[in-house]
Structure 1
């Protein structure tokens, strides 16, 4: 869709979102849950319209140079639409974080000081081409009483617009402001730049996509940013690693789903197990079609390994490649990981509790797994419910961002005429 005055359009969308966020402050939990359940119903009832819109996206996909895997993520069918509907119903069942009293204390002068959870306000969410993310993000934002401006990828524009249209239809029926969910009706990249300047309306931007997008948003945004950055995740195989567990963890971390952000991209191995355990890990990876790119000691131990470049140790492959570094100590492993990691997820395989504790203490990432797969860094797996992304930041939110991470807090103080002398 071509918009003549793009800046004016973006200003109008952002302003309406701000007004909607003020209305959402007084919306009840029942109204939000009613909206989610009504939305699930309308997605099922009008599935044919969603699939027809998705077909337009699929027809255009080859022109965007999408890979078969990317086209598969873009594609909707009746079961996938049903999955989206069920996800909305699942969010409806989650506890409402808004209004939770985080802490409370009565001061000596009788003032009751309460720290209460409140919405962030307006969320500008930029995401990739999967149509289900449109519904997921809208559900999480509105459930936490935030208005959301959705800017999806051009590859899924028809699917996303149809889903957003249906969500807006049900909003008014449930007493939710229609502008609580708005999808940017253009794929013009300049629209992102306009929104990033509108900190008078937008409280936080959450980008979820490629490194170029994340860097652009970080550099241009005039409001806080919660980054869903790269996932260069490591598995460290310690000198005290147990063979069977380690093989399972490495293979699951790398191979269960290679294209996701919590898949392992880097292997770090203690020299003490290079001759015993590393060859077995390497063979298991080779059997699954994974190429190993290693340093000199790795290539000396594994004949079929490829010599790694310096860049390989910083790379998120999203495919059947893993880097491998041999280290002489736990300390060297930690220093290497902290230097090369994107701050997402790191795992240690060891039976040495002291080593595990040292690793967990010193590794600077959003999640540290001790004898478990990196693939568990996920809101659902952590018991947080659904998530809007996995933050690699340290401020406001870190790790899986669920409903609570889409809130802030304020202090509400109850008095009885107290004045300060």
Structure 2
């Protein structure tokens, strides 16, 4: 009996050792595959992606955007490439960043995120901490064929060089929204805006930071009032910022007595400002989405007389991106998904207001004549500015390190003043 037990123990030990070695070899093979994916040909990448599931982590706060991914992109990707999307909604991009930081710290090689929707400060944190797969955008056929790689808002993401670490997915631009039944000629610049505010006391305000739209309005003011964005693109200069920002605080304090409630309080969010505009309490609102007015008119929330305008010197615009983490389990399938997201088909469908209305990440001039006609035939609503007007008035976002400084500066020099 003792001999039998000894034999069984020996067998179990051998099986255990063999299983451990097999598991180790499997992990090593997987790691090797992940490391060599960027050396594979595109047809091999597509073949390897078949049957895989991609965990797509993205902000889930918009039912319209969620529906576009679930009902338009997901079935097409499955049909064309046999790749399944598992959309994982999050409320803040820092959730993804913190997850990746933790996984890197503990050495987790089989991560839970395959593709993530990021830009700005979150991209910079990921880049600085080595949380991304590496340069991959130039490997994507659609990126090479349809993206204007020399455009400043493709080269830089909030002032940070992209260097192929993420691929553009869409574009947004800051616009003002006004009621044309009450405002015949909207202001063309900040000087005219100040004059209009003084002539129409209580009919203008902006959301308080850290609301994204309110913060963008303050950045827009800083850029416009101090002579353009170019001077800020090399990164933070403390002496320069202290001097230049005072001009912005002066402007915002000069309009303060004439804005809603004389600046004693500000709307806590862009949604609150939209509500105030909707009920006529103020005559302007603002958004980082050019089709914002049209979508709200269609929903019956804004007056049909709503229109959009941009400043003659340009308004802030940024590109939002998709990227692949360093420890994505399915890098090939992730690359196939990102490549599809910038295909003419996916981009044009996303451009349609009923699907999302998001700006094109690809260059219209690179499209076929048939696809250009599709883009030009899309009715984005009378309240939406034309793609040409928007393109001609795009200015890049400031480097991300300015955002916190501007918000703190506003609190200290305007809000508490």
Which of the five TM-score ranges fits, normalised by the shorter chain? under 0.3
Larger Rg: 2
Flag the structure with higher strand content.
1
Normalised by the length of structure 2, the TM-score is: 0.26
Flag the structure with higher helix content.
2
Greater relative contact order (Cα < 8 A, sep 6+): 2
